[in-house]
């Protein structure tokens, strides 16, 4: 997704997850929202520097799914630094994929460490360009 319209944590989760539903990758938007919000109760996935990586695991999933978007306005995500999230990656994984889930979270975190890349990601003009930028940055690692 390119620019997110939602302005609250729950609404941005619904917006991101709805894109998975629209692509027929999940059965229930509500179930995934519940899983992500249950995980958020353990501690915010707003990691600071304008980044949030909400994630969770589900029983009836057979592959890892990831969707990302950006919010130019920013979304309050209870980040450790108290700043709004502008770059959001949502990850949902099968319940039995702990190792893969952690590897992907780590890789996303590594990609987003570079401040210049984060700035560029916020400036790109389309979802396609954002996707290409993430793939390009991932290849550097």
Active site residues: 55
- In Å, how far from its chain's centre is CA 99? 18
Distance CA 38, CA 36 (A): 5
Distance CA 87, CA 51 (A): 5
DSSP string over 64-90 = -EEEEEEEEEEE----TTSPPEEEEEE
Q: Is the Cβ–Cβ distance between 44 and 80 less than 8 Å?
A: yes
């Amino acid at each position: 997704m390119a620019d997110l319209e939602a302005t609250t944590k729950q609404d941005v989760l619904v917006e991101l997850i709805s894109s998975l539903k629209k692509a027929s990758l999940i059965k229930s938007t509500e179930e995934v929202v519940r899983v992500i919000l249950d995980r958020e109760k353990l501690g915010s996935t707003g990691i600071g520097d304008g980044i949030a990586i909400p994630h969770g695991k589900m029983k009836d999933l057979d592959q890892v799914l990831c969707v990302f978007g950006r919010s130019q306005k920013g979304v309050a995500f209870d980040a450790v630094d108290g700043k709004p999230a502008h770059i959001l990656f949502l990850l949902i994984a099968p319940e039995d994929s702990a190792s893969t889930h952690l590897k992907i979270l780590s890789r996303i975190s590594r990609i987003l460490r570079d401040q210049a890349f984060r700035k560029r990601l916020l400036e790109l003009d389309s979802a396609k360009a954002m996707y290409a930028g993430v793939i390009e940055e991932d290849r550097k690692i």
